[in-house]
Amino acid sequence: MKRGSVRRHRRGIALAIGLALVLTACAEDDEVLDEAGCDGEITQDEIEIWWHEGAEAEVRAVEDFVAEFNASQDEVTATLTLVPEADYASSLRGAAASGDLPDVIDTDASFAFTYAWAGDLQPIDSCIPDELMDDLLPSIVEQGTYAGRMWAVGMFDSGLGMYAVRSALEDIDARIPEGPDDAWTVDEFDEILADLRAAGYERPLDVKKNYGQGEYYSYLYQPFVWSAGADVLADDFSQADGHLNSPEAVEALTRFQAWHLDGYVDENEDDAAFVEGRTPLSMVGHWEFSRYSETYGDDLVLLPLPDFGQGTRSGQGSWQWAISADADADAAWSFIEFTLQPDQMERMSEASGALPARSSIAEQTERFGPGGTAELFRIQLEEGYTVPRAPHPVYATVSSTFNQAIQDIIDGADVEDALTRAAETIDDDIEANEGYPPPE
């Protein structure tokens, strides 16, 4: 009898401990948004920086910047931690969830706003001097702004294009567009695919299938939706249903699906479809420009993506700096500002192949400046041919569901079904988050 009661007791204690743990787990995380921003006074002498370990040249540039920054002044010491790119998003998510974000992070485009909304970041508009603000590409400002505040700033911006072998296009008498305002229509593009196949290219289009399902799908294929005159979300980010699955979006992605189902797309398992000449067309971002122009020289031509009805559209936005809520904004900003100086920005552009984030610098570079071989990327960004991925905390869900929908469409799913399912998942998420009330 006595034993039984002890045992029962013990069970009660275990249950109590368990419940207590559950309750404490629930009670955490009511963080108040830190409105500190920059006040011109540095109060922290050490800052920790995270950078995604992606392209080697970019990593080396960031390492150099950190070393030079530390050598250039003695107020703030920066330490850099490199996190493998494949695990970067999950590392950030984990660190944010446990309140361990470093002072300065870099995030891919709209992912910063998940953290901004959650109160893990602080706005940086009070840090950016007017002169710099005026010089930043409009796309950089647009991509860093949410709820009327600026939360992130990049050293460079990105762009998409259709790389083509000029001679292959001339052989089939295809029209070669001059710029973004006379991009191929999607009908024209379908004909070009068929003509190229007739000319001996069994699978003439490379869309970097080897990248697989991931953020790249959102980056490359949301522009098709925009180009068709549709959008992924309502203008106020409150709803996806009726936008992502609108007839225009369905039509555009059905045309895209046909390229896959008709076998026009190279698997590109070796990531060399274009450079080995299997495909005379490769739809991809600015980062392939160097490799492709080394291979083809003057025979390479950079064209806008096909126009699905309302003009060509390209993605924009890339990795950008943000400051965590707990950091001293002035200390963190002193490092970020260092990387936005002309010299650093030029070197980073050299390393990444991307467009410098300041108009004054972008226009001076040989490649992106007027008449430059990759001028298209700058024109697209400056003249409104690019659309940011929804600068809103819902983007994390938009991205993962859109990527899933694209994968399903490539695999032959009914386009309208796939997009409707994605729209419902997104709307479900918006509802579960009570419409993402903006931070005060």
Cα torsion angle, 257, 317, 235, 90, sign: positive
Please answer whether residues 231 and 243 qualify as being in contact, where contact means their C-beta atoms are separated by less than 8 angstroms.
yes
The interface region with other proteins, picked from 90-98, 185-193, 327-335, 343-351 by CB under 8 A, is 90-98
Amino acid at 248: E
* Nearer Cβ to other proteins (277/412): 412
Work out whether 148 is an interface residue with other proteins (CB under 8 A).
no
Q: What is the DSSP string of 280-313?
A: SEEEEEGGGHHHHHHHHGGGEEEEPPPB-SS---
Q: Let me know if 333 is exposed, middle or buried by CB neighbors in 10 A (0-12, 13-18, 19+).
A: buried
Q: Let me know if 179 is exposed, middle or buried by CB neighbors in 10 A (0-12, 13-18, 19+).
A: middle
Binders of other proteins: how many residues, by CB under 8 A?
A: 46
Residues 284-313, mask of contacts with other proteins (x by CB under 8 A): ------------------------------
The interface region with other proteins, picked from 14-22, 58-66, 170-178, 296-304 by CB under 8 A, is 14-22
Work out whether 97 is an interface residue with other proteins (CB under 8 A).
yes
Which residue from 58, 120, 215, 251 is in contact with other proteins, where contact means CB under 8 A? Answer: 120
Residues 205-234 that bind other proteins (CB under 8 A): 212-213
* Nearer Cβ to other proteins (182/417): 417
Work out whether 86 is an interface residue with other proteins (CB under 8 A).
no
Q: How would you list the strands of the sheet with 160-165, edge to edge?
A: 205-206, 281-285, 160-165, 300-303
Taking the C-alpha atoms of residue 76 and residue 47, their distance in angstroms, rounded to an integer, is 7
Which residue from 12, 13, 18, 39 is in contact with other proteins, where contact means CB under 8 A? Answer: 18
Residue 272 C-alpha from the chain's centroid: 24
Taking the C-alpha atoms of residue 334 and residue 306, their distance in angstroms, rounded to an integer, is 42
Q: What is the DSSP string of 162-189?
A: EEEEHHHHHHTT-----SGGGPPBHHHH
DSSP state of 33: P
* Nearer Cβ to other proteins (73/90): 90
Work out whether 22 is an interface residue with other proteins (CB under 8 A).
yes
In angstroms, what is the minimal distance from the CB of 177 to other proteins? 31
* Nearer Cβ to other proteins (89/153): 89
Work out whether 437 is an interface residue with other proteins (CB under 8 A).
yes
DSSP state of 437: P
* Nearer Cβ to other proteins (14/198): 14
Which residue from 35, 100, 187, 270 is in contact with other proteins, where contact means CB under 8 A? Answer: 270
Work out whether 96 is an interface residue with other proteins (CB under 8 A).
yes
Work out whether 23 is an interface residue with other proteins (CB under 8 A).
yes
Work out whether 30 is an interface residue with other proteins (CB under 8 A).
yes
In angstroms, what is the minimal distance from the CB of 38 to other proteins? 22
* Nearer Cβ to other proteins (99/384): 99
Work out whether 428 is an interface residue with other proteins (CB under 8 A).
yes
Angle, helices 395-410 vs 247-261, to 10°: value is: 40
Taking the C-alpha atoms of residue 178 and residue 57, their distance in angstroms, rounded to an integer, is 31
Please answer whether residues 180 and 264 qualify as being in contact, where contact means their C-beta atoms are separated by less than 8 angstroms.
no
The interface region with other proteins, picked from 284-292, 303-311, 364-372, 401-409 by CB under 8 A, is 401-409
* Nearer Cβ to other proteins (131/269): 269
Work out whether 427 is an interface residue with other proteins (CB under 8 A).
no
Residue 420 C-alpha from the chain's centroid: 23
Residues 229-268 that bind other proteins (CB under 8 A): 267
Tally Cβ neighbours within 10 Å of residue 358: 23
Taking the C-alpha atoms of residue 166 and residue 296, their distance in angstroms, rounded to an integer, is 9
Site of interaction with other proteins (CB under 8 A)? 18-19, 21-23, 25-27, 29-31, 33, 90, 93, 96-97, 114-115, 117-120, 212-213, 267, 269-270, 396-397, 400-401, 404, 407-408, 411-413, 421, 425, 428-429, 432-434, 437, 439
